[in-house]
Structure 1
Amino acid sequence: MKGLGSHDPRQLGRHRMVAVIGQGGMGRVLLGHSPTGRLVAVKQVHRHLAKDPEFRERFRQEVAASSQVTGAYTAGVVDSDTESDSPWLATEYIAGPSLKTVIEETGPMSLGGLRLLAAGLASALVEIHRAGLVHRDLKPANILLSGDGPRVIDFGIARALEGGAQLTATGSVIGSPAFMSPEQAEGRPLTPAADVFSIGAILAMAATGESPFAGTATPQVLYNVLHSAPDTARVPGPMRDIVERCLAKDPADRPTPEELSEAAGRIEAEPVWPGAVRDVIAGHRSDSDWWVETTAKHARYEAQVEGLKKRRQRNMRSVAAAFAVMVLLGGAAFGAHEWAVQSGYATPATDLAVSLTGEQWRTLDPCALLENSLTKDFGSRSGDFSDSTAGACSANFTDSSNAKRSFEVTIGGTGDSLTGALPRLSGAVAGWMPMYGLFKDGSSCDRWVITQGRPAVSVKLSAKMSGKGDVCPAAEQGLRAVVDRLAVNPPRLPLPKDSVRSLDPCALVERKLASELSGASMHQTISPTSCYWSGDDSYFSLTLTESSRPDQSHQGEPTQIDGATAYVEDSYAKYHSAQCELTYMVRPTRKDKAEVVKISFGSWRDSPDSCDRGKRVFSTVLAQLPK
């Protein structure tokens, strides 16, 4: 999810919008909060599509179709408006990832997970077909996973069994090639058996990580669907018979949803999601909870600001009335030039959201960000930048009144690494994000925000001034300017092609290797440049950054690994501590600095092989670095 943009609605019907879930060719999906406290997923059609009568009629049909479907394994319709300039549909929000996302992040599913998936999808089909509908677009992206089972969503191209208006061009095929039935691929009339075929393809993908009709291009995929036997060799035996029956070319040979449910129930495996899947589901649930909590805090703050604004407007009207009376009574001698009235409150300059990608965070230029953001309000920079720490930069600024202040911007951690590390809310807001801060006033002041996209990154601005005075207002004003710059035009470092700064550290280690070495099935992004894996016995981190040159700073013993020189510090050999750190210099940059790869490996128990494990990770990473 990411924050609402300046063009996103803040209210649709009775529902207050909280965040953007996603966007596609037909519209945006927003997370909404109803007056009853219920979360809803709101699909809002793009305005240019809403002007197309054919598309609008199709959307009305979707709303009508979705409203007929109920059941534990579908997302029910909550509200809609099909006649507005931007029509929308609100359904129950499922706080879980799509099956597509889960398989991409955790790999093929266990037999118990497959049983739960098959039983849930069969139950959903029973309800869909009972309403007289054929879904027509069942695919992993349209199946969300909650803690107790799957949920089928998106009836965007559902058709009533008894027929209806043809809302697509003659000869066109709607659906997802790898998961559509042969009869749908040929454009023949569909029966509920078409959805059963899709379920078979989905189960095979969940069991193996790939479509049973995989091909290098869409025509080849469609040919395989029509003429080739499905590849089910890697589907677990107890599930293979179910999948192959669902994937029969002849619709009459496929099981009914009721028969599919009975067959899934006979599998001897506990119907539960694997631990890695439950972790991904929990992460999505905490993500939506965070958005709701943050938006509620912001709404309360806005209400307080609006109340203060109205009170001061009333006070100003009273002052203006008193001044008019004074003029009428001969008080004009005061002179307008001697009577200055200021509002005393600030209004937000923008509502732009910060939604940088991981690569944009990693290649951000903190010094340019600092100067470009603060020069307008705090004067010119005096002296050089100080940027000895990666992701941070500081400088002094002097304004026209000769006021001198020192500012430092720091791009910090992400995700769970921020939990419990933040100070209390300061009461201020920047770019729809609440500010955190330790103190309300002082000659030095720190202010943070946590961006609301993925990855969630902390942005801190520290301010100092000599002598007496409160610098916290300057820190808050400066942080707002920094956030505005990040939202509109974030400056990037001028990096050469062989730089590693743009690489995603989490993508450099295969899930299988990480699991083998640490027991961790999932990684954790702890900063834009660092990734962390932690299992029951071991843990390790991988960082791509700029730091001191290892060949000049004595960061371990030089060691040859696959023809490259890495500097290895084995704490077990020195201190009998099960920790090891490997540092590799990719290229020198400036003075005594270099782009480096750091791998820190450790164990929760007494283990002398941490460096051997670290070297295995290094070998994998080295092969993927720019030459």
Structure 2
Amino acid sequence: MKPLNPGESRHVGRYRLVAALGEGGMGRVLLGVSPDGRLVAVKQVHPGFAHDDGFRSRFRHEVQASRMVSGAYTAAVMDADPDASTPWLASVFVAGPSLKEAVEAAGPLPPGAIRILAVGLASALTEIHRAGLVHRDLKPSNVLLTDDGARVIDFGIARAAEGDSELTHTGSIIGSPGFMSPEQADGRTVTPASDVFSLGGLLVMAATGRAPFGGWSTPQVLYNVVHGRPDLGSLPPVLRRLVEPCLAKDPAQRPTPAQILDHLGPVPPGSTPWPPAVHALICVQKEQVGRLLALPQPPVAEAPATPGKRRTRARTAVALALALVLGTAAVVAVKLSSADQRAGRDAGPNTGRPHPAAFTVEDLREIDPCKLFKRDSLPATGPMEQSDGKRIYFERCDFSFKDRPDKTASSTLVVNLYETLSESKGTPISIGGLSGFAKVDGIYCVVSIENPYSQGFAMTASSGRETGDPCATPTEAMNFLVPQIQYGTDARYPLSAGSALSSDLCAMTDSPPVPPGNPNKFSFTIQGLHRCLWIGQKDLGVYSVSLLSAPSEPGKAEQRDLDGVTVSEAILPSQDYGPACEITWAHHRIDDTSTEDVQLTYNDFDKKLSNEELCANAEQYARRVLAKLPPGS
């Protein structure tokens, strides 16, 4: 995006112009706002075309045909004026980089994203061809990658520049050499099969980063398109089987878009289409648009006389502010190696780059899941709010939906940033490039996204629904949550001095103490964000320490002094690991309504100890934890 020039018009037709999106062979594309507040992409043709009557006639015809194109994979034409001094058309604006920009910034797309791209392109061509149009200029810059898939733009408009116009003199070609069909490059009749050839070229470029036909010059590229063999050597076999027929020299040998869709099959529901770096570019563009719309706008009417100094200064200030916003917001997503992702947390929130330490235990400990979601974060489910009642776990938040537009939809949602991945995993899914599972149990569904750095652990979202898809709400929640963490959320706890929220509780003791007379060692530990559990060999018991916001009531508890700290000590009835002594104390006050409480539990696995012996062991562990905690308040 670029700022508009200070002196140029701020309106085209009924649309207020905000910024310049780009410029191509036929014209300039501008970001506009319709009277009802919708964003539009306004394309103004170059003045050279505007003076050609043949172009205006073809432009009028193609605009009328383009308005018949609809569907989820195109940016629909909303309005146009072929008779304006500078002809223009307005289509729905969709946020997202072009395929060209995405591959340049993030590298070739992975196989799963290629399949989603192929389905989107074939679906778009199905709608375009159904309207009697041929795109003629299907190239990487005319494919946008959005949050939910691909969008094809500028369909059919290239046809307006062809014909007997002086602008298309002998030897000139409308289209992009590396992606046009042999018949188009050779000046022969162009049919819908030409777009299928271009589709094949786009898939090669998306998978490899380069066009299937190379050359040192445009004539060499065109010769290779007509006579040469495409470079498909680096394609995986499954993609090559799709692409090769699309790139057949004979149009009759190419599949139709419908046949391509049959070959690909349906895309799994809930899939996040692109790699994290591409979604970062989408976020950047949305932030740019938001900042642009928030800027003060110049007056609608422009005086015909030379502006005075005050107006000149005001417009210059707006232009400079716009340039500053665009300059500071234009952050490019980059690919990070595994080492880069683990290197540290220096990316900060909302930078548009993948967060280097996203999903590490250290990063997740500081995130407040209750702050991640706003009231309107899940529009498909309805307005949400944190559930009433005491909050117990820092890594978990419970939400309710009280004013749902769909009364059969989920009434509750539980989000947990880090818990053990169930052995019974469910149906494989992918969100934000991370693998996971959706498991249905009756009317309930748990969507789990595996932690890339902690094997056996996952983020989960769970909900219930009496009718319809029980996984709809947790899937929508995960699609909202994962990108926030990937790019560095600022929904974090206030880590004031004395807080233990960022502490590794498994490091609170050098090693679990062994009861006197028993030479065995503890068998293994399980680490959570704010919990550590040691499970001992048979007669050693189980020892755990947790950091809680509001511990559950243990029943009858006694107040004791333990190394100068007042603790509550209670005997719990037999649990999975036997009876337990539970010791709880307040460690640090977060604010006026919440504290960090430490809860230590020691279980007698073999049920051999008296209550006094049980709590003596628990106190021994608690002293070691107290010595390691940061000084609380």
CA distance in 2, matches of 1:178, 1:154: 18
3-state DSSP of counterpart to 2:311: coil
3-state DSSP of counterpart to 1:151: strand
Q: Which of 327, 334, 343 is the aligned partner of 1:454? A: 327
Q: Which of 350, 356, 364 is the aligned partner of 1:534? A: 356
Structure-2 residue corresponding to 1:16: 16
Gaps of 5+ in 1: 307-344, 354-429, 435-448, 458-505, 540-603, 607-627
Structure-2 residue corresponding to 1:43: 43
CA distance in 2, matches of 1:230, 1:520: 40
Letter in 1 for 2:285: H
* Deviating more after overlay: 511-520 vs 7-16: 511-520
CA distance in 2, matches of 1:198, 1:234: 19
CA distance in 1, matches of 2:341, 2:503: 12
State the Cα deviation string for residues 55-83 of structure 1 (Å, max 9, x = none). Answer: 43343344233223222111111111111
Structure-2 residue corresponding to 1:283: 284
CA distance in 2, matches of 1:144, 1:111: 18
Answer whether contact 1:45 1:86 (CA < 8 A) is retained.
yes
CA distance in 2, matches of 1:212, 1:456: 34
State the Cα deviation string for residues 327-348 of structure 1 (Å, max 9, x = none). Answer: xxxxxxxxxxxxxxxxxx9833
Give how far 1:98 is off: 0.5
Matches within 5 A, 1:420-435: 430-432=317-319
Give how far 1:223 is off: 2.2
Letter in 2 for 1:261: L
State the Cα deviation string for residues 99-147 of structure 1 (Å, max 9, x = none). Answer: 1000000001011111111001101111111111111110000011111
Structure-2 residue corresponding to 1:583: none
Structure-2 residue corresponding to 1:242: 242
Letter in 1 for 2:282: I
CA distance in 1, matches of 2:30, 2:246: 34
Matches within 5 A, 1:151-230: 151-155=151-155, 157-159=157-159, 166-167=164-165, 168-230=168-230
Answer whether contact 2:181 2:197 (CA < 8 A) is retained.
yes
Matches within 5 A, 1:534-573: 534-536=356-358
State the Cα deviation string for residues 243-293 of structure 1 (Å, max 9, x = none). Answer: 111111111111110011122227899572222222211221222122122
CA distance in 2, matches of 1:51, 1:159: 17
Answer whether contact 2:340 2:356 (CA < 8 A) is retained.
no
3-state DSSP of counterpart to 2:91: strand
Letter in 2 for 1:431: V
Cα distance change of structure 1 residues 26 and 193 upon mapping to structure 2, 3 Å threshold: closer
Structure-1 residue corresponding to 2:256: 256
Structure-1 residue corresponding to 2:117: 117
CA distance in 1, matches of 2:125, 2:59: 21
Q: If the length of structure 2 is used for normalisation, what is the TM-score?
A: 0.50
Cα distance change of structure 1 residues 20 and 219 upon mapping to structure 2, 3 Å threshold: same
Answer whether contact 1:73 1:152 (CA < 8 A) is retained.
yes
Letter in 1 for 2:27: G
State the Cα deviation string for residues 569-619 of structure 1 (Å, max 9, x = none). Answer: xxxxxxxxxxxxxxxxxxxxxxxxxxxxxxxxxxx999xxxxxxxxxxxxx
Give how far 1:522 is off: 14
Give how far 1:432 is off: 4.5
Structure-2 residue corresponding to 1:349: 312
Matches within 5 A, 1:22-37: 22-37=22-37
Matches within 5 A, 1:354-503: 430-432=317-319, 451-456=324-329
Cα distance change of structure 1 residues 433 and 19 upon mapping to structure 2, 3 Å threshold: same
State the Cα deviation string for residues 431-471 of structure 1 (Å, max 9, x = none). Answer: 3466xxxxxxxxxxxxxx871333459xxxxxxxxxxxxxx
What is the Cα-based RMSD across aligned positions, in Å?
3.8
Cα distance change of structure 1 residues 525 and 176 upon mapping to structure 2, 3 Å threshold: farther
CA distance in 1, matches of 2:346, 2:195: 35
Give how far 1:518 is off: 3.6
Structure-1 residue corresponding to 2:340: 517
Structure-1 residue corresponding to 2:85: 85
CA distance in 1, matches of 2:164, 2:311: 49
Answer whether contact 1:18 1:291 (CA < 8 A) is retained.
yes
Answer whether contact 2:5 2:319 (CA < 8 A) is retained.
no
Cα distance change of structure 1 residues 65 and 150 upon mapping to structure 2, 3 Å threshold: same
Matches within 5 A, 1:566-581: none
CA distance in 2, matches of 1:199, 1:523: 40
Structure-1 residue corresponding to 2:553: none
3-state DSSP of counterpart to 1:210: coil
Letter in 2 for 1:291: L
Structure-2 residue corresponding to 1:272: 273
Cα distance change of structure 1 residues 521 and 73 upon mapping to structure 2, 3 Å threshold: farther
Answer whether contact 1:137 1:158 (CA < 8 A) is retained.
yes
Cα distance change of structure 1 residues 517 and 291 upon mapping to structure 2, 3 Å threshold: same
Cα distance change of structure 1 residues 79 and 266 upon mapping to structure 2, 3 Å threshold: closer
Letter in 2 for 1:517: D
Answer whether contact 2:20 2:29 (CA < 8 A) is retained.
yes
Cα distance change of structure 1 residues 268 and 36 upon mapping to structure 2, 3 Å threshold: closer
3-state DSSP of counterpart to 1:40: strand
Structure-2 residue corresponding to 1:321: none
Answer whether contact 1:95 1:146 (CA < 8 A) is retained.
yes
CA distance in 1, matches of 2:43, 2:323: 27
Structure-1 residue corresponding to 2:566: none
CA distance in 1, matches of 2:126, 2:326: 37
Letter in 2 for 1:196: V
Structure-2 residue corresponding to 1:441: none
2:95 pairs with 1:99: no
Identity %: 50
